Amino acid sequence: MTAHNDDALRRDMVATCRRMNESGINQGTAGNLSVRNAAGFLVTPTSLPYELMEPGDLVQMFFDGSYEGARRPSSEWRFHRDILAARPDVDCVLHCHSVYATTLAVHHHEIPSFHYMTAIAGGTTIRCSRYATFGTQALSDAALEALEDRMACLLGQHGQIALGKTPAAALALAIEVETLSRLYVQARVLGEPPVLPDEEMARVMQQMRNMSYGHAPDLDGVNDTPNAKPGADEARPRADA
């Protein structure tokens, strides 16, 4: 992402934040969003309702923990910085307190492969991190552990994190995690649901990878579209602010 795209990026981030509330996965001033840019990353400011947020309110942060802008960054800037630094495969970090994901998180329940869509987060489970105080390095460390080889996780007694290459992708994943969380909470009313075996989840993940590359889904080596071509795959103010 380059600097000349920042105006459009800022508008996209504000629109995504508002869609978080409209979709029901966030409320009030809970949750936050960051997106990598050429200088570092943009992050939502602290204590500003999304309906009042404007593109200029987003805070430019740097990987040394300094920032520029009229507002202070989200109290959770540390895990945004650390995830983006550790995960060059993603450009966006979305955090929210969606109701059903948080319901599981307060009990430190991971989401098992009770449904094949659990694989959308990159593995056979969607892990739940250990608890740590919000805004601390300990929480960042816990989130990084839970996100190893995953695109989403629950945060113990806190909420959820979803990653993506774009705000739209991260939002779509967060909504899917909330949907799975709701299904799992409801399924457990009837008893702990059966779990798909690892070998089936491996097939599901391969199917998802195939589809993301633009292939027609096929696990048996018979391509229904033989002529199709595969696709490509605590912050301190900056001194000069």
DSSP string across 115-135: SGGGGGGTSS-B-BPPP--TT
Q: Which listed residue (76, 192, 199, 234) is catalytic?
A: 76
Separation of alpha carbons 232 and 230, rounded Å: 7
In Å, what is the CA distance from 16 to each residue of 37, 53, 126, 134, 175?
Answer: 16, 11, 23, 23, 12
Concerning whether 76 is annotated as a catalytic residue, the answer is yes
Q: Report which of 237, 240, 234, 238 is spatially closest to residue 74, judged by C-alpha positions.
A: 234
> By CB neighbour count within 10 A (0-12 exposed, 13-18 middle, 19+ buried), where does 224 fall?
exposed
> By CB neighbour count within 10 A (0-12 exposed, 13-18 middle, 19+ buried), where does 217 fall?
exposed
* Residues 158/86/178/46 CA torsion (nearest 10 deg): 50
Q: Which residues are catalytic?
A: 76
